[in-house]
């Protein structure tokens, strides 16, 4: 099932940043974007995915749109935006809610598992007078982790 989260607030986004996870020797990329959603969107998400929307210390609701592929961002003319967006903006976000039934080692079906995947972002407009909170690339190499002491 596909749901559209309308007029979500996003504090900047770089579509090229991802995290790498080791899954039994296979590296899996995960792209993620924090979405600041309304209370109505929270209720909608909660009907499909239990406990996936958090509340920030400022009282905002946040849901992380995730994908194994880069999350596409489209402008108002439906053209893809490739560059990082270094401003706070409003967007519609398409989320796929899916379910699968895993099997145990004996081939018996287990409880169904629901998950979400962020399909894409439709950039609507900027929000003035707010600063972006661009996600930064996770340090991976020794130099990225230990280099540049004292730099901010």
What is the value of pTM for the model shown?
A: 0.78
Structure tokens at 127: 């929000």
**Local confidence pLDDT in tens for the 152 residues of the chain:** 899 999 999 999 988 888 888 888 888 899 999 999 999 999 999 988 888 999 888 889 999 999 999 999 999 999 999 999 989 999 999 999 998 888 899 999 898 888 899 999 999 999 988 776 655 555 566 666 666 554 44
């Amino acid at each position: 099932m596909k749901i559209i989260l309308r007029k979500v607030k996003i504090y900047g986004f770089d579509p090229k940043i991802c995290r790498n996870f080791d899954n039994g020797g296979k590296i899996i990329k995960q792209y993620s974007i924090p979405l600041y959603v309304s209370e109505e969107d929270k209720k909608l998400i909660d009907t499909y995915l239990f406990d996936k929307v958090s509340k920030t210390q400022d009282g905002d609701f946040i849901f992380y749109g995730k994908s194994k592929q880069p999350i596409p961002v489209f402008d108002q003319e439906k053209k893809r935006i490739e560059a990082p967006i270094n401003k706070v903006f409003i967007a519609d976000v398409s989320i796929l809610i899916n379910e699968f039934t895993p099997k145990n080692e004996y081939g018996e079906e287990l409880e169904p598992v629901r998950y979400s995947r962020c399909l894409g972002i439709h950039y609507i407009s900027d929000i003035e007078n707010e600063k972006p909170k661009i996600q930064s690339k996770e340090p991976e190499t020794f130099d990225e982790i230990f280099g540049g002491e004292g730099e901010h």
